[in-house]
């Protein structure tokens, strides 16, 4: 029998042969009539149905799209676990430029693929998809969140995403300076779009001095017009070199690379962007420099808490109360990191992995009990049949 092994640099290696893999299911979706090409990756259902957004993006290759779906879905498993949700991790990507190929028919075709999984995967918004898109997807799949309030949904999840980041930042301030407030602290926010502009509102209200940057001039002007006391710099490179107490990456992933970490003046990093660490080892570099890093997937979980609540009949106050617990979760991670002598990112991973492992153990035990009960029932039925024959 031929031993088939995935190549060491391909997506199949990531899926089957690396510690970054371990996914339960990956579905390739294609609808030629609408031009849909999508990947749905389910990393784990240990805690419940996989929950994660749909990213619509013009990937350079299909392999890049699959790899992104694998990475993002794995991150959702950890995020949902630490958010205390009864959901595993999943993510979907639609390949293509949404400005060119997105259509109602394409989104409905995608919804049919989500529906075909029978609830194993629950979708929501992500980069390139919006509330109105989820309303369309929901016509074909009831396992859709992030819908408009008019359709019974939670609406814009950026609201609680920013609120959760602010709670994580308060926890970092408590750990670093002894008080859970940013009052009098200088906070640099890189990216003031969907989430960042809400975060600025919280910071201004708390009495922080805020410095911002964004690649879009209109996003910066919107903030300055509302809050003239906020200052702006030309780009993220300038921002990280500006004297800061807190740096908040709220734009693209990979924001914390070697050059950025070396240049940082802030002693706390806490932001909304996903996958902030550019490569393994950056978390140790931050710790070695005395910079307290609040793991991104912990503090930005307010959005997934919001859309998860939608499955139970959305109640904003209930969802906000749960997002408030991000403060306590972040503090617990910092305490675990200090006790174990490890970076907070490693501590967060260990706590999430422990919760998923415990859930898998409970499932295995329940299955064993069910199998034992079924075997006993069969034995009793057989004995009863013999007695009846006599």
Query: 138-171, pLDDT tens digit by residue?
Result: 999 999 999 999 998 998 889 999 999 999 999 9
Confidence at 383, pLDDT banded by 50, 70, 90: low
269 and 314 belong to one structural domain: yes
Mean pLDDT calculated for residue range 338-349: 96
Confidence at 379, pLDDT banded by 50, 70, 90: low
Whether 142 maps to a domain, the answer reads: yes
> Which sequence positions are flagged as catalytic?
91
Question: Residue with structure tokens 């008080």?
Answer: 179
Mean pLDDT calculated for residue range 321-337: 97
Residue 119 in marked binding region: no
Whether 379 maps to a domain, the answer reads: no
CB 203 within 8 A of CB 182: yes
96 and 178 belong to one structural domain: no
Mean pLDDT calculated for residue range 368-372: 72
257-268 tens-digit pLDDT: 999 999 999 999
Distance CA 268, CA 272 (A): 14
Whether 248 maps to a domain, the answer reads: yes
**Predicted pLDDT of residue 388:** 66
pLDDT at 8 over 60: no
**Predicted pLDDT of residue 2:** 43
Name which residue leads in pLDDT, 370 or 111. 111
Whether 354 maps to a domain, the answer reads: no
174-202 tens-digit pLDDT: 999 999 999 999 999 999 998 999 999 99
57 and 191 belong to one structural domain: no
Q: Ranked by mean pLDDT, which of 6-20, 263-277, 352-366 comes out on top?
A: 263-277
Name the percent of the chain lying above pLDDT 90.
82
Which class for 100: exposed (0-12), middle (13-18), buried (19 or more C-beta within 10 A)? exposed
Residue 269 in marked binding region: no
Mean pLDDT calculated for residue range 32-58: 97
**Residue 283 domain boundaries:** 158-348
250 and 166 belong to one structural domain: yes
28 and 139 belong to one structural domain: yes
137 and 204 belong to one structural domain: no
Residue 53 in marked binding region: no
**Predicted pLDDT of residue 368:** 77
Name which of 89-93, 139-143, 312-316 the model is least confident about.
312-316
Name which residue leads in pLDDT, 109 or 378. 109
CB 233 within 8 A of CB 213: yes
Whether 224 maps to a domain, the answer reads: yes
Whether 326 maps to a domain, the answer reads: yes
Q: Which of 147, 174, 200 is the last residue of a domain?
A: 147
Could you tell me the two tokens for 358?
A: 């415990």
**Predicted pLDDT of residue 233:** 96
CATH number, domain with residue 27: 3.40.50.10860
pLDDT at 7 over 60: no
101 and 224 belong to one structural domain: no
Whether 6 maps to a domain, the answer reads: no
Q: What is the DSSP letter of 128?
A: T
**Predicted pLDDT of residue 390:** 61
Look over the chain and give the mean of its residue pLDDT values, rounded to a whole number: 92
Confidence at 292, pLDDT banded by 50, 70, 90: very high
Looking at 207-281, list the stretches that DSSP marks H as alpha helix, in order from N- to C-terminal side: 217-226, 236-241, 258-263
Domain count, the chain: 2
CB burial of 138-172 (b: ≥16 within 10 Å; e: otherwise) equals bebbebbbbbbeeeebbbbbbbbbbbbbbbbbbbb
99 and 236 belong to one structural domain: no
Distance CA 207, CA 104 (A): 44
Confidence at 382, pLDDT banded by 50, 70, 90: low
Helix and strand numbers (H, E) in the chain are 16, 12
**Predicted pLDDT of residue 115:** 98
Whether 367 maps to a domain, the answer reads: no
**Predicted pLDDT of residue 127:** 85
DSSP 26-65: EEEEEETTTTEEEEEEEEE-SSSSEE--EEEE--SSHHHH
137 and 168 belong to one structural domain: no
134 and 247 belong to one structural domain: no
Which residues make Cβ contacts (< 8 Å) with residue 192, sequence separation at least 6?
199, 200, 212, 213, 214, 219, 220, 222, 223, 250
279-290 tens-digit pLDDT: 999 999 999 999
227 and 106 belong to one structural domain: no
- Tell me how far the alpha carbon of residue 263 is from its chain's centroid: 27
Mean pLDDT calculated for residue range 121-140: 95
220-248 tens-digit pLDDT: 999 999 999 999 999 999 999 999 999 99
Residue 191 in marked binding region: yes
CATH number, domain with residue 294: 3.40.50.720
142 and 213 belong to one structural domain: no
Could you tell me the two tokens for 258?
A: 């070697």
Distance CA 73, CA 87 (A): 12
């Amino acid at each position: 029998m031929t031993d088939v092994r995935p190549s060491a640099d391909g997506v199949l290696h990531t899926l089957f042969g690396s510690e970054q893999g371990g996914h339960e299911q990956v579905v390739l979706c294609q609808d030629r009539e609408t031009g849909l090409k999508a990947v749905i990756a389910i990393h784990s259902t240990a805690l419940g149905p996989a929950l994660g957004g749909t990213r619509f993006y013009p990937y350079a290759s299909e392999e890049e799209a699959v790899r992104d779906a694998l990475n993002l879905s794995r991150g959702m498993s950890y995020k949902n676990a630490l958010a205390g949700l009864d959901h595993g991790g999943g993510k979907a990507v639609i390949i293509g430029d949404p400005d060119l190929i997105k259509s109602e028919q394409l989104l409905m075709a995608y919804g049919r693929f989500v529906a075909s999984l029978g609830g194993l995967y629950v979708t929501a918004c992500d980069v390139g998809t919006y509330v109105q898109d989820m309303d369309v997807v929901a016509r074909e799949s009831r396992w859709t969140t992030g819908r408009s309030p008019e359709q019974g949904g939670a609406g814009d999840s950026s609201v609680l995403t920013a609120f959760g980041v602010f709670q994580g930042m308060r926890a970092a301030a408590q750990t670093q300076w002894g008080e859970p407030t940013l009052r009098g602290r200088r906070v640099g926010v890189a990216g003031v779009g969907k989430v960042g502009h809400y975060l600025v509102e919280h910071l201004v209200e708390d009495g922080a001095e805020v410095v911002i940057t964004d690649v879009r001039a209109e996003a910066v002007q919107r903030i300055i017009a509302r809050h003239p006391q906020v200052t702006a710099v030309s780009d993220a490179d300038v921002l990280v070199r500006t004297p800061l107490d807190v740096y908040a990456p709220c734009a693209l992933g990979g924001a914390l690379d070697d050059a950025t970490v070396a240049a940082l003046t802030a002693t706390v990093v806490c932001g909304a962007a996903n996958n902030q660490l550019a490569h393994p080892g950056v978390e140790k570099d931050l710790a070695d420099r005395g910079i307290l890093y609040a793991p991104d997937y912990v503090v930005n979980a307010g959005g997934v808490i919001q859309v998860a609540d939608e499955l139970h009949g959305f109640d904003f106050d209930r969802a906000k109360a749960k997002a408030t617990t991000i403060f306590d979760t972040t503090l617990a991670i910092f305490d675990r990191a200090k006790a174990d002598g490890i970076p907070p990112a490693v501590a967060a991973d260990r706590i999430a992995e422990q919760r998923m492992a415990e859930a898998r153990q409970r499932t295995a035990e329940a299955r064993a009990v069910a199998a034992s009960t079924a075997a006993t029932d069969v034995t009793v039925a057989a004995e009863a049949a013999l007695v009846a024959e006599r």
